Amino acid sequence: MPSLPRLTALHRLAAVTLLGFASGLPLALTGQAMQAWLTVDGIDLATIGFLSLVGLPYTFKFLWAPLMDRFELPWLGRRRGWLVLTQLALAGVLLALAESPPKESIRVFALLAVLLAFVSASQDVVVDAYRTDLLPAPERGMGASLNVMGYRLAMILSGGIAFIWTDPNQGGGWDWPAVYRFMALVMAGAAVLSALILPRLPSLDAPKSQAGHDLRGFAAVLVAVAAGVWLTDRFGGAIAGATLGPLLEGGGLPAALQKRWVDLAALLLGIAFTLPLAAWAARKARFDTLLGGLNSYFSQRGAAAFLLFIVLYKLGDAFAGSLMTAFLLKSMAYTSAEVGVVNKVLGLWMTIGGALLGGALMLKLGLWRSLMFFGVLQMLSNLGFWWLAVSGKGVLPGAVLPAFDWGFVQLANPTPVDGGLLMVVAFENISGGMGTAAFVAFLMSLCNQRFTATQYALLSAFASVGRVWVGPLAGVLAQSIGWPTFFIISTVLAVPALLMLWWLRDSVRALDAPAAEAAPAPTPAA
């Protein structure tokens, strides 16, 4: 019979798996599942690329994460009250989105999708902080793997089985609004489980900042961001057009693509203006928890270098995957059921296997060697999609998946599975799962428990830069240069992270040491 400490550890790991599932479900619904809905409704590729910006809250969540460090909701204890609140809010927004199909009003659809991403990012803030606070250092490698497993299981449901449900020839007659309604019920169930079975975290005795300062600081940051958005909308397009327009006119691009490049330049100008304005407002309004969390993180040696590495590590992977659904459905002409079965179901199971394998290998390899080895595999996996774009379908022998009916999902007819697609997706998902497990463990090792929500939100926001910000550029590039060159570029983008990881090797190795939580990391190796 397992001992009490072992049962307690299993309870912690089971909680991390559940929260991984709750975190992964809405992400697919603002990402590839949403791409499929937009594609089915006839939205053009460049617009789909720009609508990836609904994920912007994932990159700015560190601005409101300090409120979740500073305030605790009553009754359920530290972190758990915020978990239940955000999960119930997600259920409500999913229901509203189901009633707003994009072909009727793309603007309303986009605004609701942004709200969904905002609440989902808020849930992620609490999930990441709860997981980091809950797991002792020896359990973080396996905890990261199980978190990825739960995360990917959710994506199998919302980004895989949902594709089969909505296939007009194979599925059960569902449309995308029906899928989103069902996912709302799943999120409501997750809220109930979070309230009932998650382990309680001990309260912290550390002194807290004045509540009034934090609330005023958060309001000041919101005003600064709103001002930046308004100024960008008012003047950004004109400035970008005057700067970039003459260069684009001689390039032979269609007028519609020229406008997309100008829009992208205006967006980047707005970010360059808005972020410093928000930082200035936080200092002036004494947003103490935000400033304290940032100061605590940046007191580590090599903190800025770690942030740059965090941006770069998943950049090539994110670039290749940013328009994957549109590539497979439109360019490669795979059916929705085939994409659902191979890329979303079998592929995500391979990601889970890769994550569990990565967690096990980390026990032998350590953090630095795991990040390097798995990062190389991630880079090489992008070349598989280049090969698929060049070679096309039918190069490798495939298989036929027989029809089945399991009640919750069915294939009405036997479905051919392309051998090339299966091989490429298998390699990409296994390597991606291994890299993600090591990356999550790395992020947890950088956090101070007093400011876990703030610091992990900052780190994961930087990690999501690639996933969110490459979407507009990816959509424009794919139309401008074609898919094969697009995937070559995605491979090249993975190289800088590996070079930087070599430079940071001593700092990353220090995070494996037992004293790493209490001592700052050493200066990066020259």
The reported pLDDT for the residue numbered 526 is 32
Q: CB within 8 A of 292, min separation 6: which ones?
A: 209, 451, 454
Block residue for tokens 């996912």 = 183
The reported pLDDT for the residue numbered 342 is 75
The reported pLDDT for the residue numbered 515 is 38
The reported pLDDT for the residue numbered 521 is 40
Answer yes or no: is 490 within a domain.
yes
Residue 474 sits in a domain of what CATH number? 1.20.1250.20
Q: What is the DSSP letter of 401?
A: E
Q: Render each residue's pLDDT in the chain as its tens digit; 526 residues.
A: 556 777 888 888 888 899 999 998 888 788 777 877 887 777 766 667 667 667 778 777 877 888 887 777 777 777 888 999 999 999 999 999 988 887 777 778 888 888 999 999 899 888 988 888 888 877 777 788 888 788 878 877 887 778 778 777 665 678 888 889 999 999 999 999 998 888 888 766 554 556 777 788 888 888 888 888 788 878 887 888 888 777 767 666 666 666 767 776 777 788 778 878 888 888 888 887 777 777 878 887 778 888 888 888 887 777 777 777 778 877 787 777 777 777 656 776 777 788 788 878 887 888 889 999 999 998 998 888 899 888 888 778 777 777 766 665 566 777 777 888 888 888 888 888 888 888 888 888 887 767 777 788 878 777 776 666 666 667 667 767 778 888 888 888 889 999 999 998 888 888 775 433 433 443 333 3
The CA-CA-CA angle for residues 203, 209, 212, to 5°, reads: 120
Q: What is the DSSP letter of 448?
A: -
Answer yes or no: is 187 within a domain.
yes
The reported pLDDT for the residue numbered 376 is 92
Count the domains in the chain: 1
Whole-angstrom Cα distance, residue 153 to residue 33? 15
The reported pLDDT for the residue numbered 86 is 94
Give the length of the chain.
526
Answer yes or no: is 288 within a domain.
yes
Which residue range is the domain that position 337 belongs to? Answer: 4-199+210-517
Answer yes or no: is 523 within a domain.
no
The reported pLDDT for the residue numbered 345 is 65
Answer yes or no: is 296 within a domain.
yes
Confirm if 56 and 275 have CB atoms less than 8 A apart.
no
Whole-angstrom Cα distance, residue 492 to residue 380? 10
Answer yes or no: is 287 within a domain.
yes
For residue 23, CA distances in Å to 250, 358, 436 come to: 46, 20, 14
Number of C-beta neighbours around residue 101 at 10 A: 18
Number of C-beta neighbours around residue 499 at 10 A: 10
The reported pLDDT for the residue numbered 487 is 86
Answer yes or no: is 524 within a domain.
no
Block residue for tokens 């360019």 = 331
Which pair of structure tokens corresponds to residue 66? Answer: 């300090």
Answer yes or no: is 179 within a domain.
yes
